A and B are shown apart, each in its own frame.
Chain A
Amino acid sequence: MKSVQFSVASRREGDAAIIYPKGYLNNLSGENLVIECGIYIGKGITKIVVNFSETDLINSIGISMLLQIIEDLKNIKGTICCTNMSKLLRDTFEMLGLMQHMLVFPVESDALTYLKTGKL
């Protein structure tokens, strides 16, 4: 377990936004994540990639925030892709039955390729 202060960075690539949550994903950081995604959704972006490569821990409140993003995108018929997830994160989402509500890719580039071409 690393002790990294949570931060969230993002960038745009084409018609998709890529979000980089970093550190411990809990209530406060989860809200930042929702806000960051909300900014892109507000600008008409419907494809969001969340790159979890630097997320070391998550709690249930952080998960509920992620569910909020899934729901927001669902309402606008958008797509959420999750990439670079640790086994722990994947297993956690699996345990809670969240995996079927998101597209999961090993790395960010795979997700972007899929979003561009519609192919895996």
Chain B
Amino acid sequence: MPFNAIPAEDFLNREPELNYLKGLSKLKANALGGDVFLDGARGMGKTELLKQLYRILFWENNVVPFYYSFKTANLKGTYFAQDYFTGFVRQYVSFVKKDPSLASHVAEPLQRLMPTISSLGLYWLIDCIEDFQGHVNKNDFYWQLVAAISAPVMAAQKMGKPVIVMLDDFDAAAHLYESSLGDAHGLISLFGESMRNRRCPHVITGSAGALESIFTDHSLIGMTERMRLGPLPEDLAVTLFRAHLTNLKITCAPGVQLEFLNILRGNPFYIKNLAKAAWKMQKNVINEKDLIECYSFEVSDGETAFYWASAFSRYVKNSAQRKAMLKLLMHAIENGGIEDGKRLSMVSGLGEAETETLLGALTTSGIIRAKDAVLQDFIHCLYMKEIEGRNANDAREKIEAKYIQKREESCFELVIPMSSNAELVVAKAVEQIGKNMNLDDEFLNYLQIALIEVCINAIEHSGSYEKKVFLKFITRPDKLEIIIENSGRPFSLESIKEVPVEEKMRLGMKRGWGYKLVHKIMDSVKVERVNDRTRVILTKNIDNGS
């Protein structure tokens, strides 16, 4: 398993991290470093980094690499101990003999390795195996675990060669149990002894949310540093994608900038999957529109969709919970986050306690906080299929249409303080945006008036402590959409009464003209409440003849 890494030349932009991890055993031996928690969004390449490190260490021969990936099926303590121990023995022997194939023969009993171990003179390892077998024979649960977990430390001490222990998805270790799930809390702390050993640096991955709580265990606290794996820069993301395409014998159409790749935010996993999607869809020459088509397939039915669907399955037990989770996630996407409160159980359709539990799991997993457009599109697709009952093609087309439309639009954002004449800055901005769109001056003057009115309404009446108005201008060939948001007191169009001028004069009501003007000027005016913010959406259709 640790040998199925991608070619080193395709593993981009991680040299500093790899070099640091390669030197970790020296740092730890000199008490200058400890263990490392690799942090980063899903798909950012944490596992791949471990595999690359494994391969380098294996052939350099100075430090013994041991890689272990926690599996849901092996969380029963005795299964885990067996799997962990035999995995270590195999990988150790494979390292000493410089025979990668030995590490891969997971089904082969350790007994068959005995002649090889003897021939290598690793008699202490034979003692180790016999000791472990003794604990198994005695059905000694605790000592099986201790013997397995401490095997790398034992090896480092016997041979004087450090062992780097790489634990992938380590947060799963928090769920180790004796006979049934949840019957033995805290078994993860048995790793504490091994992690403290100066000859055995540990590099671990897992959900940051889950691991934060694990590291509050006093046996593990304070000896682990966090290494964050960020996204690939834009140019390297393109380079990586092109490299994948080349491997798949796909070329890019002349002049294609691959701008759409920005949506993947430099995530190597997504980049690889998108290239594979192009291959599955039998593209020989790819252009920007093909990319959108392949992407829509990927988030609907491709490997990315499968990956996220599998990740979701970890947090839900049945179809009702899955639907509830989808509704909550969709709610979070549409509202820019999720607020606390009893109202969420109305969204999920579950009881308050069950909703709370589900939210807790989603928060710990990091899924609900992720500002990941790909994940959001996957959720949207799944929502369309499982909640709205649409078919997969519909969902794909919807995603595709969204990005084709986006290609033709541009977006400007502006934040103004709630201070005197700040609305004039907005008027000035819309004037320039309008000029960029070739809108005529007269029309722009009306737009300025409408915007000024919405801004002064926010400034005057919101009572916002934030004292800011957020504006977003989205221009499309046929439409201008302006979104104005501010925190503070709610506002709705229903609260505005249409009063004729004569009546206003008679009643001494001189104010309240603003939205009347806005309605006259714009084609559509919508007001929404999003969490603690009021969002006004103004739309003006553009007559391209004008």
Q: Mark A residues whose CB is within 8 Å of B.
A: 1, 3, 24, 26, 28, 57-61, 63-65, 67-68, 70-71, 74, 87-88, 91-92, 95-98, 100-101
Contacts and interface: CB of A to CB of B under 8 A. Distances in A.
A101 B506 CA distance: 13
Interface in B254-286: none
Nearest to A6: B421
Most buried by A among B453, B500, B501, B512: B501
Interface stretch (B25-33, B117-125, B422-430, B472-480): B422-430
B456 A59 contact: yes
A91 B514 CA distance: 14
A25 to B, nearest CB: 11
B493 interface: no
Given A59-B423, A64-B510, A64-B511, A98 B431 contact: no
Contacts of A26: 421, 456
A96 B516 contact: yes
Given A1-B428, A3-B428, A95-B520, A60 B453 contact: yes
B421 A24 contact: yes
SS of A interface (majority) = helix
Contact residues on B (Cβ < 8 Å of other chain), bracket: 20 to 34
Q: Which 9 A-B pairs have the closest CB atoms?
A: A64-B510, A60-B513, A60-B514, A95-B520, A88-B445, A97-B501, A67-B510, A59-B452, A64-B511
B506 to A, nearest CB: 10
Contacts of B513: 60, 63-64, 96
B12 interface: no
Interface in B419-445: 420-421, 423-424, 427-428, 431, 442, 445
Contacts of B514: 59-60
Most buried by B among A59, A68, A97, A101: A59
A93 B420 CA distance: 24
Contact of B424 (A3, A92, A95): A3
A98 B448 contact: no
A47 B500 CA distance: 25
Interface of B: 420-421, 423-424, 427-428, 431, 442, 445-446, 448-449, 452-453, 456, 500-501, 504-505, 510-514, 516-517, 520-521
Contacts of B442: 87-88
Contacts of A96: 501, 513, 516-517
Contacts of A91: 446
A57 B501 contact: no
A3 B452 CA distance: 14
B442 to A, nearest CB: 7
Nearest to B420: A28
B448 A60 contact: no
A98 B517 CA distance: 12
Contacts of A74: 505
B449 A88 contact: yes
A88 B452 contact: no
A24 B514 CA distance: 16
